[in-house]
């Protein structure tokens, strides 16, 4: 025989109220940090926007992509996590996406070259400082090359988890978070996959070969930076 236990509504309401308060405080902190980064980025010549949710960010990004645009896709878990890449495929855009399955090594290489001449290049950033700098580390360098010069427009999408105080914190974030997780994602047999931290390995499978700091928006490039008030990507 089942016994119905009475619901303690007073306790439930208190708990729900506490959770609402916690979420409100988290949203406040995210927006405060995000807006500070946006202000600094704008002062450095970037177009920048803070979006509270990934849906808000996706809606904005779609508005920035002209009909018929050829879209380059830099290696980014963030773009796939927020559903943007799948949505662009569904809408019939031409994507230069070297991360799609089934491509040969030669096709991947060709795709990376095409990204340099795309109408819109989509990517993320390993770190964004509160001083308005984009900090990235690459294996082949195709992602950072397309961020700096080539495409008609570059859109950088990053979760609030990628916003850091300064270049020192950016370096620590890349070494201890971005690099190990991306090595694991790419199934590279590098030491950080075992330790969870960068070991500055000297292996041919190393993916940390090129470091770039975009202090200000390059003079011949148009870079939009979209910061989302949620954790996304590595």
pLDDT value, residue 62: 98
Average pLDDT over residues 21-45: 95
Average pLDDT over residues 132-155: 97
| 15, pLDDT greater than 80 | no
| 7, pLDDT greater than 60 | no
**pTM (two decimals):** 0.91
Question: Is residue 23 packed enough to be buried (19+ CB in 10 Å), middle (13-18) or exposed (0-12)?
Answer: exposed
| Contact between 134 and 128 (Cβ < 8 Å) | yes
Query: What does 116-174 look like in DSSP terms, one character per residue?
Result: TT-SEEEE--SEEETTS-EEEEESSSHHHHHHHSSSSEEEEEEEGGGEESSHHHHHHHI
Q: How many residues does the chain have?
A: 234
User: Of all residues in the chain, what percent carry a pLDDT higher than 70?
Assistant: 94
Residue 15: half-sphere exposure toward Cβ, Cα within 13 Å: 5
Contacts of 185 (CB under 8 A, 6+ apart): 77, 234
Domains and CATH numbers, the chain: 9-228 (3.40.50.10420)
Average pLDDT over residues 205-220: 96
**Neighbouring C-beta atoms of residue 120, cutoff 10 Å:** 22
pLDDT value, residue 19: 82
């Amino acid at each position: 025989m089942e016994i119905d236990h009475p619901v303690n509504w007073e306790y439930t309401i208190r708990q729900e109220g506490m959770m609402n308060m916690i979420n409100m405080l988290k949203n406040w902190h995210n927006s405060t940090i995000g807006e500070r980064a946006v202000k600094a980025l704008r002062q450095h010549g970037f177009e920048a926007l803070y979006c509270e949710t990934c849906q808000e960010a996706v809606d904005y990004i779609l508005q920035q992509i002209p009909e018929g645009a050829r879209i380059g896709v830099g290696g980014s878990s963030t773009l796939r996590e927020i559903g943007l890449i799948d949505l662009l495929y569904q809408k019939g855009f031409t994507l230069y996406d070297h991360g799609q399955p089934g491509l040969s090594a030669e096709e991947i290489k060709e795709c990376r070259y095409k990204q340099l001449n795309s109408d819109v290049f989509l990517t993320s950033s390993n770190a964004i400082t509160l001083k308005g700098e984009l900090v990235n580390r690459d294996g082949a360098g195709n992602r950072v090359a397309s961020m700096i010069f080539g495409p008609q427009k570059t859109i950088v999408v990053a979760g609030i988890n990628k916003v850091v105080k300064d270049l020192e914190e950016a370096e620590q974030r890349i070494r201890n978070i971005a690099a190990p997780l991306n090595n694991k994602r790419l199934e590279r047999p590098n030491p950080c996959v075992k330790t969870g931290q960068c070991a500055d390995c000297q292996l041919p499978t190393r993916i940390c070969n090129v470091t770039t700091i975009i202090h200000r928006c390059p003079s011949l490039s148009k870079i939009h930076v979209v910061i989302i008030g949620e954790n996304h990507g590595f």
